[in-house]
Structure 1
Amino acid sequence: MSIREVTPEQARVRQATGSVLIDVREAHERAGGMAEGALGVAKADLLANAAQHLSSPDQEALLICQTGKRSADAALSLQQAGYSNIYSVSGGTAAWRVSGLPLVQPLLDADDRDFYDRYSRHLLLPQVGEAGQRRLQQARVLVLGAGGLGSPAAFYLAAAGVGHLRIADDDRVERSNLQRQIIHTEAALGTAKVASARQRMLALNPHIQVEAIAERVTSDNVDVLVQDVDVVLDGSDNFPLRYLLNDACIKHAKPLVYAAIERFDGQVSVFDAGRQRGVAPCYRCLFPEPPPPEFAPNCAEAGVLGVLPGLAGVMQATEVLKLLLDIGEPLVGRLLRFDALQMRFRETRISADPACPLCAPGLPFPGYIDYAAFCAHSP
């Protein structure tokens, strides 16, 4: 069965004589402009209930999409369903625009217009689409730390439209931070990092909520911070806090997106043992005990290439988005290491430890410990 096509100019003439013109693109695509007088009905909706939009099987209908392929596919499906007078507009809306024919903006409220414009590149991805972007809009993420890792991660999560970002850090902005903590500016020196971060995130995307917690995260407040979020992003720079976050995420069954950096090297992983006991490892499965301090200096002691936390933080943000959208293969059970000097990446498999004191199947949560003492006394 052949597909009958008309040019945009022919479609305009037929439209004036009574043919119905139907734009079969998705709503977010039509928001950028559609042929004047066209009826907006997504392809799937049209095919699911053609009788709602076509008065009879012999009504002449002209289908238009972006470039002509989708409308041709829809026209073929309708012909096979018994609709005998269906045409596809060759070249679609792109050709309509080039031909200088009139385009109109669909009537949208300000919030929808902003949504379709702001996230247009996400909406084009089949793995995201409008449903996925709305899912991000409803998501809640805890970013622990507004420093080297938290800065790029939080910035990109804000740009991506994660609806509620809770960022916790008790530090203040110093000039030495600006070389790598790109969410802060010279004007923010001396202010709380979370306040500085919140201001920049809302300047980038005023349609999200940013909860700034200017507190040190401890066993006393970690439950409140973790319990009502979907994902936890670890931007900490010390072992006691990493172990505390790991344990809290197991207790509350939250995925933990981890990263660590030093000098020119970094590593990223996702620990999801709280939701996948005995299958996914936790941080303690990888590091049962912290290394001695002399073997794990922080950035203030060892230095760090300024772009390195940006690389790791963006990887973390990517993993958070994958988890929220339930797409791709998160770094669960995999430790991704990279050497920025050689620009080499290496992946190591991590298995769940059946004897892990925190995440072994059936093991009740043992409670929080003195993490500073635990890390200080480890060999």
Structure 2
Amino acid sequence: MSSERTGSADRLKAYLDEARSQVRSLSPEQARRAQDGGALLIDIRESWETAGGSAAGAALIERGQLELEIGRHAPDPDQSIVLMCEAGNRSALSARSLQAMGYRKVANLSGGWNAWCQAGLPTERPRGLDDRARQRYLRHLAIEDIGEAGQRKLLDSRVFIAGAGGLGSPAALYLAAAGVGQISLVDDDRVERSNLQRQILHSDHLIGHPKTESAAQRLHALNPDIRVETFSERLTQANVDALIRDHDVVIDGSDNFPTRYLLNDACVRQRLPLVYGAVLRFAGQIAVFRAGDGHSPCYRCLFPQPPAPEDSPSCAEAGVLGVMPGVIGTLQAAETLKLLLDLGQPLVSRLLHYDALAGRFRETRLVRDPNCNHCASGSR
């Protein structure tokens, strides 16, 4: 038995030596400089290990989830990545795994967390849940697939919502209630009485006020522990990239084709998932566009050109049942939470239709247009 254990240890050592020989090693100081230069530092230790602290700015992805989650954090195979674990062994093996997946700029932090601490480099502790937070998110903590680690992930997440109207209202409310740490809202409109039939973020006493102001008041009243960032301006080609940058998910709550194309193109450029929704009269639809993964379609693959005005009247012209934005906006919130928590099967490459009069959902499969000049390979 002793000889078997010795043989197994020798094989493991040989395997580790081979992995180290094929992966670039960085000292803690080199890793920090690489991080400052745009490299993604990933701590692959288990949650009970990182509870005591991790390198400042590191993404926390447990070893068992690395291959599943890396695409969301680093969709570009040329992204510079530095992996760290406790002492540098697990991260060396993980680096080889990422190389096998096609990532070309992967390095291993020699000595891992121990060496980082010995070098006196900056550290941080993951956000914990105090008694107040535990009480608020008790039903999330009871779900095995979320738990405390998932709730901390939500608290560290940032979601951008274009539009504080019919779709943005339920999406923002449910994301705030769920504990998404930062919600950013852009809308240049003011509250009108005709909005209140469906835009549940706003109240009669705030008619005439900017929608972003009304929305921020309501969201903070619901959950004072989150951050709400507002922009009372129109989304344009000049500001869209700066506004959505550094967010994890973008929600399209707009009601016009120019804004939808604007958001789509910016999300393709920045490889951010876009949760699309639209409503009219008694019907609605929703999809998730994640064109940055290299094979999924974007919004322009579905609608290369906007339909003729007579084929797609606005809600102001054709009307909308008040609850329709609630149904679709809530589904957008659900898809966003799935993306943030890496749960289930998001509506990627699928368009979900809801017919309220028939009480029926149906699904359409979406395929990437190889000739799309926005998301096709080599077009960016």
Cα deviation for residue 355 of structure 1 reads 1.1
Q: Which residue, 208, 211, 222 being the options, matches 2:229? A: 211
Please state whether the residue corresponding to 2:327 is helix, strand or coil: helix
Counterpart-to-counterpart distance in 1, 2:141 and 2:225 = 17
Percent identical across equivalent pairs?
A: 61
Cα deviation for residue 114 of structure 1 reads 1.0
Cα deviation for residue 161 of structure 1 reads 0.3
After superposition, the Cα gap between the structure-2 partners of 1:124 and 1:192, relative to the gap in structure 1 and judged at 3 Å, is same
Equivalent residue, structure 2, for 1:309: 325
Question: Structure 1, residues 105-147: CA drift from partner, whole Å, max 9, x if none?
Answer: xxxxx96011100000011111111000000000000000000
1:154 pairs with 2:154:
no
Q: Which residue, 288, 296, 301 being the options, matches 2:304? A: 288
The aligned runs of 1:183-198 (5 Å cut-off) are 183-198=201-216
Please state whether the residue corresponding to 2:172 is helix, strand or coil: helix
Paired amino acid for 1:347: E
Equivalent residue, structure 2, for 1:356: 372
The aligned runs of 1:164-313 (5 Å cut-off) are 164-274=182-292, 276-277=293-294, 279-313=295-329
Q: Which runs of 5+ in 2 are unaligned?
A: 1-46, 49-127
Counterpart-to-counterpart distance in 1, 2:341 and 2:139 = 15
Contact 2:284 2:328 (8 Å CA) reproduced: yes
Query: If you compute each CA radius of gyration, which structure gives the higher value, 1 or 2?
Result: 1
Q: Which runs of 5+ in 1 are unaligned?
A: 1-43, 46-109, 365-379
Counterpart-to-counterpart distance in 2, 1:300 and 1:270 = 26
The aligned runs of 1:1-379 (5 Å cut-off) are 112-274=130-292, 276-277=293-294, 279-364=295-380
Give runs of ≥4 in structure 1 deviating > 2 Å: none
Equivalent residue, structure 1, for 2:3: none
Length-normalised TM-score, structure 1: 0.66
Counterpart-to-counterpart distance in 2, 1:161 and 1:131 = 13
**Farther-moved stretch of structure 1 (317-326 vs 294-303):** 294-303
Paired amino acid for 1:291: P
Equivalent residue, structure 1, for 2:6: none
Length-normalised TM-score, structure 2: 0.66
After superposition, the Cα gap between the structure-2 partners of 1:111 and 1:329, relative to the gap in structure 1 and judged at 3 Å, is closer
Paired amino acid for 1:280: S
Number of equivalent positions: 255
Paired amino acid for 1:325: L
Paired amino acid for 1:260: A
Counterpart-to-counterpart distance in 1, 2:356 and 2:299 = 23
Paired amino acid for 1:198: A
Counterpart-to-counterpart distance in 1, 2:197 and 2:190 = 15
